[in-house]
Amino acid sequence: MSSNNENLKIAVAYNELNGTDGEENIDFISEAAVKKEAEDVFRALVELGYQPVYLPIDEIENGLNKIRENQPDLIFNLCEGYKGNAHHEMHIASMWELMGIPYTGNTPISLGLAQNKVLAKKLFESKKIKTPMYQVYRETPVQTYLTYPLIAKPASEDASLGITQDSIIYSFDDLKRKVCELLEKYHQPVLVEKFIEGREFNVSVLGNHPPQVLPVSEINFSELEECYHITSYEAKWLPEHPHYKKTPPVCPAEVSKELRYKLMDVALQVYHQLMGRDYGRVDMRVDGHDQIYVLEYNPNPDISTDAGLARSALAAGLKYRDLIGKIVKDTLKRVNYGEN
């Protein structure tokens, strides 16, 4: 593999929705947004002197043919699923593994662990990393040992899929209704957690040996009046929705030095426990007593120019082009040292 930028071919791989997949379903908006992310990464790679090519994955065979045609030295992996199914995110990364092509970002096992929120929470608990108390339902609830308020979400989705203002629960009747609704819509177990009332933080981690914790970011809920202070799917992905405009991220977050260090420490613990690689983001809630609760680890989070990771990197003095360049160099370094 050449270390010369001008000779290094990089395939920017992303999942492309096929035909009319998701055309009328807002749940596909987050997946479709990856194309804009790919365009941002592509431009940065051109500026850095690399030779990028687009590698849209709509059909596996088409993707394999393009790889054979271009013979990339490295894949910048932005695939978040396959044919509208986010569960296949880990399988696409496994394909690069089996082909022996170096790729950026987290490994299949990290992607799978992070997506299985229940298993990830068990790992957190085993290491005494606080996470909200929870129950998992595979059918209509007949009881709960949790205290209200609660929040319900699909157990194996990301990008806030299935989370709306209607997800907050204050009674057993509401619990049964919401769980049944999610079971019917997403055809997977439903995770019900104790809702942590308080502040919400995102902490991005970059690199490997050692990883760098980027400045803490907070979701500003101050304008979200008469609504629950959560980052719903609408608030995250629908720019025209009022909740999108009223939940701006603030980075660096205005927090005490003590809380900032605690948030950074917890993020690093989570990154290590889920074997994070190259880049990732940890989402947390903090209650009125400054107790930190980990919600989830987001491997390979959105890395477009206006996304949270790029914002945190800029707050650390790293311009977007340099952020992309660092991820590429970290990948090449792993390959040169014989790491996975």
pLDDT digits (tens, 9 = 90+) for 103-127: 999 999 999 999 999 999 999 999 9
What is the pLDDT at residue 20? 47
Contact predicate 155/137, CB 8 Å: no
Instruction: Determine the Cα–Cα distance for residues 91 and 95; give it in Å rounded to an integer.
Output: 6
Instruction: Determine the Cα–Cα distance for residues 23 and 86; give it in Å rounded to an integer.
Output: 16
In eight-state DSSP terms, residue 174 is: H
Instruction: Determine the Cα–Cα distance for residues 64 and 310; give it in Å rounded to an integer.
Output: 30
Region 221-239: mean pLDDT is 75
In eight-state DSSP terms, residue 254 is: -
Instruction: Determine the Cα–Cα distance for residues 44 and 50; give it in Å rounded to an integer.
Output: 9
Higher pLDDT residue, 49 or 83?
49
Residues 276-311 have pLDDT tens digits of: 999 999 999 999 999 999 999 999 999 999 999 999
Question: For the CA atoms of the chain, what is the radius of gyration?
Answer: 20
With vertex at residue 283, the alpha carbon angle to CA 28 and CA 306, rounded to the nearest 5 degrees, is 60
Query: What's the number of CA atoms in the CB half-sphere (13 Å) around residue 295?
Result: 27
Q: Please say if the pLDDT value at position 179 is more than 80.
A: yes
CB burial of residue 212 (10 Å; 0-12, 13-18, 19+): middle
Q: What is the mean pLDDT of the chain?
A: 89
When pLDDT is cut at 50, 70 and 90, the band that residue 147 belongs to is very high
Task: Tell me the three state secondary structure of residue 131.
Answer: coil
What is the pLDDT at residue 238? 67
* Domains of the chain as residue ranges with CATH: 5-103 (3.40.50.20), 133-194 (3.30.1490), 198-336 (3.30.470.20)
Q: How many residues does the chain have?
A: 340
Q: Please say if the pLDDT value at position 23 is more than 50.
A: no
For the chain, list the strands marked E by DSSP: 9-15, 51-57, 74-77, 134-137, 150-154, 168-169, 190-194, 199-206, 212-213, 217-219, 249-250, 279-286, 292-299
Instruction: Determine the Cα–Cα distance for residues 319 and 328; give it in Å rounded to an integer.
Output: 14
Residues 70-96 have pLDDT tens digits of: 899 999 999 998 887 888 999 999 999
Region 140-158: mean pLDDT is 91
Contact predicate 208/110, CB 8 Å: no
Q: For residue 221, which of 230, 213, 208 has the smallest C-alpha distance?
A: 230
Region 49-77: mean pLDDT is 92
